[in-house]
Amino acid sequence: MADERHSDGGSDDDPATDDAASDTPTSHRSGEPDAFGSPYRLLSTAVTPRPIAWVSTLAADGTPNLAPHSYFNLVAHDPPHVVLGSAGRKDTLRNIEATGEFVVNLTTEHVLKQMNASAIDAPPQVDEFELVGVTPTPATVVAPPRVAEALGHLECRVAHLLELGSGHLVVGEVVHVHVDRRVWRDGRVAPELLRPVLRLAGSQYGTLGELFKLERPSWDAPT
């Protein structure tokens, strides 16, 4: 079922105050999130780009579900955990609550159209794998299927579920990983080979663009 996208009905002239004095070189709009008219519109355009988790789950009756979620990120690596946010109660969340398992299929340029098609607000009994034309393939440790066309998969078991107002946070422990050999180089996933798709806001997406290296400074404490 659909991802966290929704229409907020906000205008471009959301009420917020300008807090900069005339002698400052820049100015800012300032206020509580509601003062901007739509917290969703404000934060989904400010917190960008975001990686997209293309999440596969199973309903309690065994029906497969597949949907993209950009409220997603890595939060720990020892042991590895990811977080997944759900704005409201959608099929993905209900299935995770029922089974305690999910798979994050990596979203890349070559599956962009299928990922977007799976964001449709289909009823729970619809199998989005079949609907958008991707191939379910068995996972190794968890029950939900993987997307065979994806270049990587994170098999996850729920570690924590947290309700945050109208939203829900899922913390999943990564228990098994699959990486396509075509994107594996020098002991890691090469982003220029993976070519991930990034979520901006509304109907806007992005790709990696220019890549560069920036060495992290080190602190040499006096002895």
SS3 of the chain: CCCCCCCCCCCCCCCCEECCCCCCCCCCEECCHHHHCCHHHHHHHHCCCEECEEEEEECCCCCEEEEEECCEEEEEECCEEEEEEEECCCHHHHHHHHHCEEEEEECEHHHHHHHHHCCCCCCCCCCHHHHHCCCEECCCCCCCCEECCCCEEEEEEEEEEEEECCEEEEEEEEEEEEECHHHEECCEECHHHHCECEECCCCCEECCCCCCCCCCCCCCCCC
> Of 46-50, 121-125, 168-172, which range is least confident?
46-50
Mean pLDDT across the chain: 89
Res 30: pLDDT: 86
Res 113: pLDDT: 97
Q: How many residues are listed for the chain in this entry?
A: 223
- pLDDT tens, position by position, 82-96: 999 999 899 999 999
Topology of the domain comprising 35-206: Pnp Oxidase; Chain A (2.30.110)
Res 223: pLDDT: 64
Question: What is the rounded average pLDDT of the residues 26-35?
Answer: 82
How far apart CA 190 and CA 187 sit, in angstroms, is 9
pLDDT category at 35 given cuts 50, 70, 90 is confident
For the chain, the structural domain boundaries read 35-206
How far apart CA 215 and CA 39 sit, in angstroms, is 35
- pLDDT tens, position by position, 138-182: 999 999 999 999 999 999 999 999 999 999 999 999 999 999 999
Which is more confidently placed, 36 or 102?
102
**Do residues 55 and 85 touch, judged by C-beta distance below 8 A?**
no
pLDDT category at 202 given cuts 50, 70, 90 is confident
Query: Residue 40: is its pLDDT beyond 90?
Result: no
pTM: 0.86
Which is more confidently placed, 194 or 4?
194
Distances (CA, A) of 152 to 34, 60, 104, 139, 202: 38, 25, 8, 12, 25
Res 19: pLDDT: 52
Question: What is the rounded average pLDDT of the residues 9-29?
Answer: 54
> Of 33-37, 71-75, 148-152, which range is least confident?
33-37
